[in-house]
Amino acid sequence: MACGFGLNVPRILLFSDSHELKNKGGGAGRKAVYLTHRELKELERLLKALANKRRLAILRSLKKNGEANVMEVVYVIKLSAKSTSRHLAVLFSAGLVDRRQQSLEVYYWCTPAVPTPIRGVISIL
């Protein structure tokens, strides 16, 4: 597919609930979604953020307990404050958690605007 600058940008085919595959051998009930390079990079960033057991533990804790400051997360997942802060920064950068600072403490919570497929992953934690 071509993009606005006259460049050919590859699109990756995935299966989802969007556009139906017709006469393409996609099978019954399968749907096709084409991702641009930018969308693919975003998906990669989200999946990398989820591909760590410590970050999954943090997400599970925030999902269960709601908002928590860094030290509360440290206590739950039993990791150093420095490592926990780094993991929280990765999750924040990926848009999976949000944060606010109150005085010297930073509070985190799961972002409600997580993409639907990722929400499915978080729901099973």
Domain segments of the chain as ranges: 1-35, 45-123
pLDDT of 33: 67
Q: What is the pLDDT of residue 97?
A: 94
CA-closest candidate to residue 21, choices 8, 34, 10: 34
**Cβ partners under 8 Å of residue 19, min gap 6:** 31, 32, 33, 34
Q: How many CB atoms lie within 10 A of CB 3?
A: 12
CATH of domain 45-123: 1.10.10.10
* Tens digits of pLDDT across the chain (125 residues): 333 334 444 444 454 444 444 445 555 556 666 778 888 888 888 889 999 999 999 999 999 999 999 999 999 999 999 999 999 999 999 999 999 999 999 999 998 877 666 777 777 76
- Global confidence as pTM: 0.69
CA dist 12 and 4 (Å) reads 18
Tokens 């150093």: give the residue: 80
Specify the pLDDT at position 116: 64
| The pLDDT value given to residue 25 | 52
User: Is the separation of the CB atoms in 53 and 83 below 8 Å?
Assistant: no
